[in-house]
Amino acid sequence: MTPTPTVPSTTVPPPPAARRPRRRPFAAVALLAAVALTAACSNSSDSSGGSGDGGNQTLSGDCARFQPYAGHGGTTVTVFASILSPESDNLEKSWADFSRCTGIRISYEGSNDFESQLPVRVSGGNAPDFAIVPQPGLLAQMVKSGKVVKPPQQTVANQEKWSPVWKTYGSVNGTFYAAPMSANMKSLVWYSPKAFKQAGYDVPKTWADLMALSDRIAKAGGAKPWCGGIASGTATGWPATDWLEEVVLGSFGGEVYDQWVSHKVKFSDPKIAAAMKTVADWMQNPAWVNGGYGDVKSIATTTFQDAGAPILTGKCLMLQQASFYKAQWPKDTKIGPEGDIFAFHLPAVDPSVPNPVEGGGEFLTAFASRPEVQAVQNYLSSADWASSRVKTATGWVSANQGVDKSLYTDPIDRISADALTDPAATFRFDGSDLMPAAVGAGQEWKSLTAWFAEGQSIQKTAADIDAAWPQ
């Protein structure tokens, strides 16, 4: 599960029934509606900009690159999502040139209650032209409503720049509906390069090396090798689901992971029980956790936002968290391979699993098929738009293989992009976000929290989760 995005020291718990696989932290504010620029494109006497009648719109100069989307000047397309300011400010910058040149006004609205409000709007006949949906489960719910419009041919063709598995996450019952837009990288370990260098530790390349390093740090005394926190308001427990998902994927590969997510392989299956034992040996080892906060049980009461803070004070050395955790470090923290904080790719438990990567993402879902809507859909699913989005700010990553990786100036973004676009990677979407809400955002959170907070057995934890699965 990806949490409700936050800025440091701000927790915004999701509605209990909502799936919240968000991408990057942002400040929680009220609804935002912004107007994209619609000035006419310069250097073109034929460009209609925001006032033309469509038809024969010809773009020139810098605007010529948007010619495939021209002919719809003076129209408006609405977009609804969970992305709020300041993140949404950068989102709107990413399509500002498109809007200026084509004359298509993109009216954006963000909401804290996106997941609960979208179904209400759709069922009430007030659907936006587009919704940026961060959960395959919510996409399936919208498709079931009969209101989602299949994408145009060019949007479908744009999927050639993505690993094929992404198209499946934008599909329902084998039919493609929603183009992926962004991705986030879950499979990272945050650490202090300065502390590692001072202690003579190397970044581990294998799971065996990682476990050996953890044991070495513990025996050296002082700092604990790991810190962690799974508290997150009504979403408490979600980081523990990530730890289990990472181990299932890294131990058994994508096929078993897929069967587990669909409950063909149950939580009580020996494979999943073995994965839970691996997690317990790692994150429930009293000699290894929870540096700076307490014993194993303290993981259940430490917020995920605060979990990594002891790395900066030398009380623990590593934290497993996603790329979006970058926003939790203090603003003056130097992040890089020689800095105060950096991250490395969590290695596979079983070396035979090629480059396991767990992540999340967003999907562009259309509820209208007007020509201007399809023009925006084609652009926002293209590598050109993804490149523009990368340029607007750090902290945003695309798995679109058409994006020039030199555009990523932030080192964490570059690590994430390399992993997410690796054609040989074993990529899978966040498992709890693919499971039914009663399980992934319900009983699994509750049971894994009890596993840490109360020392509940693996057998009872697995049985309780299996029992919650819809019949």
Dump pLDDT digits (tens) for 335-372: 999 999 999 999 999 999 999 999 988 999 999 999 99
Containing structural domain, residue 290: 188-358+431-467
Hey, which residues does 172 pair with through a beta bridge?
A: 175
Please indicate, yes or no, if residue 274 is contained in any of the structural domains.
Answer: yes
Q: Identify the residue whose tokens are 């460009």.
A: 47
Strand, coil or helix: what is 149?
strand
What are the φ and ψ backbone dihedral angles of 77, each rounded to 5 degrees?
A: -125, 130
For residue 62, the domain's CATH number is 3.40.190.10
Domain shared by 442 and 353, yes or no: yes
Does residue 374 share a domain with residue 301?
no
Same domain, 396 and 253: no
Please name the residues in contact with 193: beta carbons below 8 A apart, sequence gap of 6 or more: 336, 337, 338, 339, 340, 341, 342
Residue 109 lies in a domain: yes
Residue 26 lies in a domain: no
pTM (2 d.p.): 0.78
Note the pLDDT tens digit of each residue in 293-324: 999 999 999 999 999 999 999 999 999 999 98
Residues 332 and 300 in one domain: yes
**371-374: long-range pairs with CB below 8 Å, 24+:** 371/54, 371/71, 371/72, 372/72, 372/75, 372/76, 372/77, 372/104, 373/77, 373/129, 373/130, 374/151, 374/152, 374/154, 374/155
212 inside domain: yes
Question: What confidence tier does 276 reach under pLDDT thresholds 50, 70, 90?
Answer: very high
Q: Is residue 331 situated within a structural domain? A: yes
**What H or E segment, with its residue span, contains residue 215?**
helix 207-220
Q: How far apart are CA 109 and CA 82, in angstroms?
A: 8
Q: How many independent structural domains does the chain possess?
A: 2
Please tell me whether residues 252 and 241 are part of one structural domain: yes
State whether 224 and 294 are in the same domain.
yes
Q: Is residue 272 domain-shared with residue 317, that is, in the same domain?
A: yes
pLDDT bracket for residue 433 (50, 70, 90): confident
Q: Confidence class of residue 55 from pLDDT cuts 50, 70 and 90?
A: low
Please check whether residues 275 and 363 belong to one and the same domain. Answer: no
Q: Check whether residue 407 and residue 447 sit in a common domain.
A: no
Closest C-alpha among 357, 390, 394, 377 to residue 159: 377
Give yes or no: residues 250 and 398 share one domain.
Answer: no
* Residue 322: inside a domain: yes
Q: Are 186 and 359 in contact (CB under 8 A)?
A: yes
Measuring CA to CA, how many Å separate 216 from each of 188, 320, 343? 20, 18, 19
Inside any domain, residue 364? yes
At residue 89, the 3 state secondary structure works out as helix
Q: Are residues 246 and 314 in the same domain?
A: yes
pLDDT category, 405, cuts 50, 70, 90? very high
Residues facing residue 348 across a β-bridge: none
Higher model confidence: residue 434 or residue 21? 434
- 268 near 464, Cβ under 8 Å? no
- Kindly state whether residue 5 falls inside one of the protein's structural domains: no
Judge if 301 and 398 occupy the same domain: no
Other CB atoms within a 10 A radius of the CB of residue 329 amount to 18
> CA angle at residue 372 from 368 to 373, to 5 degrees?
30
